[in-house]
Chain A
Amino acid sequence: DTAVSQTPKYLVTQMGNDKSIKCEQNLGHDTMYWYKQDSKKFLKIMFSYNNKELIINETVPNRFSPKSPDKAHLNLHINSLELGDSAVYFCASSFFVDRNSPLHFGNGTRLTVT
């Protein structure tokens, strides 16, 4: 199936731990994103990579570090997790050359920090 897939779907962990979320897309897109959706349902852009290069880096604590080994993968590593990091994290992808191409989202990772 052509899609954006991210793992894990659920992640429950304790404060202070380090965790990673993986994302892969097989749509041939050249741009990938990480979004955070909080309890109020706002989607906030965190990072965007185009062909493995960082192009958007919003005001996000440096405990969050994205890594793009190739244009089909964008992983998110989070150090020293805090309660406020609890949210749903969505990976997405699109075509950069067509700036108005729609985003294709993964199914989300629901992170709960206790």
Chain B
Amino acid sequence: GQNIDQPTEMTATEGAIVQINCTYQTSGFNGLFWYQQHAGEAPTFLSYNVLDGLEEKGRFSSFLSRSKGYSYLLLKELQMKDSASYLCAVVDSNYQLIWGAGTKLIIKP
């Protein structure tokens, strides 16, 4: 079966750094997405990785290791508005998106 694992919930402090991990077992791999979803709102695109390594985009970075079936989203200089759920999604060999359940990130002052 296909599976995406993420921690259910994480807590971090404003101004700090947090790393949200995602491990996957899928039939093939054609890329990995990270989305942010604020409570009661739609998911919005954050990043896309298809090659190994780190992609940096402002305060957010995303890392991929295909050999380990592993990705992480790194959030720096945390702000209260970063409180949201972060969804990991993998594109499988049929180009279908397999979604994780998301990690709820709580930021404390």
Contacts and interface: CB of A to CB of B under 8 A. Distances in A.
B87 interface: yes
A90 B31 CA distance: 22
A64 B45 CA distance: 27
B45 A103 contact: yes
A100 B50 contact: yes
A99 B42 contact: no
B16 interface: no
Interface residues of A, number: 17
A40 B91 CA distance: 21
Interface stretch (A13-21, A67-75, A79-87, A105-113): A105-113
A41 B85 contact: yes
A100 B41 contact: no
Q: Taking each of B42, B97, B99, which has the highest tally of chain A beta carbons within 10 Å of its own beta carbon? A: B42
Range of interface residues on chain B? 20 to 34
A99 B91 contact: yes
Interface string B9-28: 00000000000000000000
A45 interface: yes
B99 to A, nearest CB: 4
Nearest to B91: A100
Contact of B101 (A41, A56, A102): A41
A105 B91 contact: no
Given A100-B50, A100-B91, A105 B44 contact: yes
B48 A41 contact: no
A106 to B, nearest CB: 6
Q: Which 8 A-B pairs have the closest CB atoms?
A: A105-B42, A102-B45, A99-B95, A43-B99, A100-B31, A41-B102, A107-B42, A42-B101
18 contacts: A40-B101, A41-B85, A41-B101, A42-B101, A43-B43, A44-B99, A45-B96, A56-B96, A99-B30, A100-B31, A100-B50, A100-B95, A104-B45, A105-B44, A107-B41, A107-B42, A108-B41, A108-B42
